[in-house]
Structure 1
């Protein structure tokens, strides 16, 4: 909200001053420290997220709240000094507020779940106090999860809770209930048994008793309409059955038996009245539970589907309409031409539950208001009366309009993401845990001569070929085990050998790896350039050994190498900068909601990571060029202790993060006649490597020491890290050579250290053992 002409030439802190109303703000100090750090170190610095309010141009003295992601990048002159800073900033206020809203939504969800749990506990208490025997079995094993005292009293000497039905009561396996209960679970059809003889033992290891039962097996469903268990209502009617048979056998005792039966009927009548009162109480409590439920619930009574109960959540969907006591089509007449009347008729007549997902309906939220398309996911469950006949329908409804619209937006964003990934000259894909491609960009068509549509659902072996798959399968296995993998190798694809830089990023969902993202760059030109450079170095060394008089020719070859590196690093900067700018411009065009998607964010981070590594390689080539073009640094008297302390201070965050113990013992080596910049580069590279390549099972310890040894000043850096094998030590100081891929690096640090020491007439030695640690010895000439 500024004009270019009004801010050019002014200090950034004058144009954007501190908001005096934001008492906790440290925005200007954060930005100032970032700029000062870039000037001091010559390295880019990023503030990922911070609040920095800006003045409102239309209201003097008023500030607008903003959150930013800022990157400060130095522009370095040929003398190594920072002359400008490229200041890039992105407004992320909407993202920050979206995260805050998400946290608030999660809190509301947590409260709703707690309320639902409270209602569940209340219902369990009601069932526990019920006079009828009640039990709940879960899963296909019919495990006792809930039972009330009345049920437990039927088997006073047996353990039931937590045991499968046929483990707790094994004598039931060969009886009729075995087939009955499996049929209820598999079909969902309720079974009602009357006076069924089921011999069981009331006490464990006791003889079976012939017991007659009245019982009901009713299926339990989850939210998706799937049967998850069985609800049992049971009554021991042995006494009643024996009494009735006794009446039939003993006519002479009929009068007396009738009297006893009348007394018993009277008692039962009293019990029935109590049970009816209790049932009415439970019905009222159940209605109260429905009214307090966080989901939309209503009960439609009779064949005309009259609203008998409407809870507040359901009524809130239609805030301006009167529903209770009206038939459905009278309350919502716009449903008459929809599929809803036929669905309700089917549920009412067939007595079968109906589940719908994301069904669009044209409805008016207010009486006489405009119709709008509302998406619903709902369940229609028939309600049965005491005779088992359907007399109403229980409705559980969820409005999912927002979810459907979000999904459509995501699908649109996915199409835009496809356009972005298809425009990049790298392979981008996603493979599931069966190693089958579920996403691939258009680059696959030029690499493997097949359409993207033909790549999908094929395995990696089928796409890349046997030879290339054999080289990649170990890395794929590590990615599917949850490890992020980065490697560079030559891949023998069917179309020819390509040198590739590959990143595999695992897709972890709920603690399990569902697949992995793959980002593959063709680095054949860079590798071939590096190999050519290595060949030229080897040829130069062989020539130096055989032809001592060819020094002038060797110097010319080195100059050619320097020019090659300089040209390569210079010519590669423009393409990678163009790719980076193209990616950032595309990200600006993408909608914010698509950037919040996990898959989009992961692929973008992979692209940025690949660009960053490419830029770092170019930067390393530039540093090597500087080193080789200017190998005669001005000598000065340098304090060894001061240089070591400054390097330790620069690495303070890494040291603190890794818990590394640093010991400095420079002894009598107070000063040295050496280039301060070069000495600092040597100490920094050796000390940072000792920390980065620490042993994961040890507390990292690094010792920096110094002593006078003959004609040299010996600086020694010793660690207890991963160590280096004897075969690897021979190639340790080769350009771009790395032996560990689990940490970032370009493979030029030790190469530059050796070049500095060689140029100064010194030498460097290394002693190392895998798993024990390493010692680097740098010999600096005293004269």
Structure 2
């Protein structure tokens, strides 16, 4: 023994060991064991038991090599709440006591556990209430408590029975204690919602649940705990990883209910049922039909349960029972098909004879005899018209399905949808499509005739104009030199020759017009745009020299273009020649041709000049056939019309921006093309 400054003695280790050895109270030091996640307390290892404790628990005087645990010493510790009590005291650090009943040697016993956290261990004492000696003055009290003890033991048995039930039920059940909603109990079904791991007893729910789930649940739990009023949820959607499955959407119907101890709210219980399958089934029309019809067949006496569903659905529902396919039930939608007729209780052939006449009764007979379901798609049905009303056809998608009673086919259920609007709309669309096809055929024939006419006319005019040109040349050779150079004759002959040249150009371009209809059908090839422009530059050498024009070409971003070569050449040639033809004589001509493109994007080709430009009114007439906006230069007014037709036939667009006296920019957008290796800009 050692003396303290206050004169009191502190027991030595040997003295304390002697006290523990002679103590009649069972004492133990328990060390927590954790689950795989390192957070949840799943059991307690018995680090020390004094002799009274070993006697109390029926253990040998000397400890074996293996270490006892709370669950091996008390197999029902999880069901009777002892494990949860120890975990809570260890987690909170608040000392507490707990009474529990158990059965041993076919006798009911009751003991009290007092526990307090001691560092990283839990100190506990166990007092057997049924064997503790009593003073004489307590005898009467003990006798009066005997009934209570028996009742408590019975309650404990009931609790154990309930715990076994809760462990097997499909409902997810959890008990939370205190305002922090600390876990006190959770059954396996509840734990299965969190990958099957044991939830740490005594830990607040907010620390265990995923953050998003906790944010949704905790406010509702707070409300129940504060008010004592239950909170209900019906088919609420939550994203959880149930069991070993990956996270997915599940649906739950649940309730949060407050429970009391000593007249005050002690915590909240959670009772939830996973209704995912039911919700998903209801979300699918076919599953809904199957459920409704199955319920109608198997539980016809519960018709009121489904009455509202049948009464309000636009689908036609009927139940027919043998013999004679007697109507047992029809919903308002089915009855509306036969207004004014009594159906229920009558055989189908008598109540609706047109169904038999149109072959539907034969189908019902086959379903009844074979038990095989029949599906009808867009079946026409002609109901007997009401007096004075015209006869009309309606179309239905329907199912005839046999239903059974006592393993025998008892009748047929009918589930049908009126699809008349859809059928009529499709028929009208087919008629419109046929009419459009006929219009396209006529338009194609007209275009072919027009092409033939243009070709024939241009061909037939070539000979007369050629003869006229020959006669003009002959006239020039026959005229005397003095007359040929006379002031009035030479200009006249020149104008005649110019008229012949324009006529020949017009005939040639009319011939090209006949090819436009077939331009889209010409196969696309990979065209080297720089080479194509260089060839056109050679053709325009005379115009370039005469106008002293500077032509800049930049095709670096799309040197290779997939397009019909002749059509692409016609586009570029017309735009460049027009830029030179309609230059402004007051300043040197500047023409720039640029092509740009992105990967898998359209090809954009633009030609910009500083020529005469166009007014807004002239731009509106620019692409018209035979429209010429400047008469001081030669032309037939057909070139830009052809360019526009070629571009649009290929699925592209052409636009123009122009200012009179400043210049003009033509922009052509062609469908996506294959772009080859880049080459530098080509200055000409």
| TM-score, length-scaled by structure 1 | 0.29
Q: Which has the larger radius of gyration?
A: 2
State the TM-score, normalizing by the size of structure 2: 0.33
